[in-house]
Amino acid sequence: MLRPADLLAWYDRHRRDLPWRARAGGTADPYRVWLSEIMLQQTTVATVAPYYERFLARFPDVAALAAAPEEAVMHAWAGLGYYARARNLHACARAVAGQGGFPCDVEGLRALPGIGPYTAAAVAAIAFGVPVVPVDGNVERVAARLFAIAAPLPGAKPLIAAAAARLGADAAARARPSDFAQALFDLGATVCTPAAPACGVCPLLAGCAGRRQGIAAELPRKAPKPARPLRHGAHFWLTDGRCVLLRRRPPRGLLGGMSELPGTPWRAERWSTAEALVHAPMQAAWREVGEVRHGFTHFELHLAVFSARVARIEGEGFLHPADALAAAALPSVMRKCAAAVSAPPAAPARGSPRAGRAGRAG
């Protein structure tokens, strides 16, 4: 029989010490819970922790975040990826500051920018003690195994969510909704792990149908994913030895508002060198110095990286000190391009060594 009280007792002994978590018996700060939940989407705890600490030092509360310029927020976020989240984070902070604090129920939270059903449930349960079970990847896995749900994801999501809600409806879980949600997170992260669940030390072993049926490690099953399409582009490192030319991406859309090296649009066909150099920011002795590969959620990107050193930089954009790129709001894919430039040089660019004056890339 499944006994949520056993999970809570286990949590009291084994809870993880995380920077955004309240102490045992303490009250969670909704700002910290919300911030950590947004950062943790698609990202691991180990990656998020240092970003979270820096972000919190810079924006200690929702009023400070709301009052900050968008550029400062994007800069503090740079490297975490999924930049629409940073823009929504900022918009949400402004909405929350405008209404004098976070709403304390799921519906009110759900109405805020960038807060989906999961995050609304997580903040409501953890910060406000609302008896709901937020279903993230860890909880999905634990619930699928406990109830031996063999139907594949994503179709099985409603079944799994209903199973998690059944678990949360138990009286012990309802008495401690914040701890119960976090106990499920911790069980999934440390015991009921994806490849090798440590059932021998699991507090829910006695009631686990997946374990009983010998299928726990295979769950949750997943429907095969369609292959991600491949896109190609080229970007240009233009320096005078001190500065490098950067430009700002459009405010909306993928990597919106972030800085980047000037480059071509990204498209399905590979760019020939001659085609790519049409998009170079100025005429120069361009050298192809490497290729960068980067995975976005919906597509894979391969970028040719070109480099040139000139006496005087021309072209649209702005100059940034080349030795202080850590301070620029560059997304990870552009940091990879910058790193490719410092790798040993490749052969001169195919085709003409001097590019014609370029138009601007889109």
Least CB distance to ligand SF4 at residue 28 (A): 25
Rounded least distance, CB 45 to ligand SF4, Å: 19
Q: Dihedral, CA atoms, 318, 319, 323, 326, nearest 10 degrees?
A: -20
CB of 159 to ligand SF4, least distance (A): 16
- Tell me the C-alpha distance between 233 and 216, whole Å: 43
Nearer to ligand SF4, 199 or 254 (CB): 199
Find the shortest distance in angstroms from Cβ 130 to ligand SF4: 24
Residues lying near ligand SF4 in the complex (CB under 6 A): 142, 145-146, 191-192, 197-199, 202, 204-205, 208, 210-211, 216
> Known catalytic residues?
37
Q: In this structure, are residues 145 and 208 in contact, taking their beta carbons and an 8 Å threshold?
A: yes
Q: DSSP letters of 232-245?
A: EEEEEEEESSSEEE
Considering only CA atoms, which of 338, 325, 326, 331 is closest in space to residue 237? 338
Give CA–CA dist 279/354, Å, rounded.
Answer: 13
Question: Please, which residue, 30 or 210, has the CB nearer to ligand SF4?
Answer: 210
Among residues 35 and 139, whose Cβ is nearest to ligand SF4?
139
Burial of 7 per CB tally in 10 Å (0-12, 13-18, 19+): buried
Cβ nearer to ligand SF4, comparing 183 with 191: 191
Q: How far is the CB of 17 from ligand SF4 (least distance, A)?
A: 21
Q: CB-based burial of residue 218 (10 Å sphere; 0-12 exposed, 13-18 middle, 19+ buried)? A: exposed
Nearest to 42 by CA among 127, 137, 160, 151: 137
Question: Is the CB of 179 or the CB of 288 nearer to ligand SF4?
Answer: 179
Contact 315, 359 (CB under 8 A): no
Query: Number of C-alpha atoms within 13 angstroms, CB side, residue 29?
Result: 13
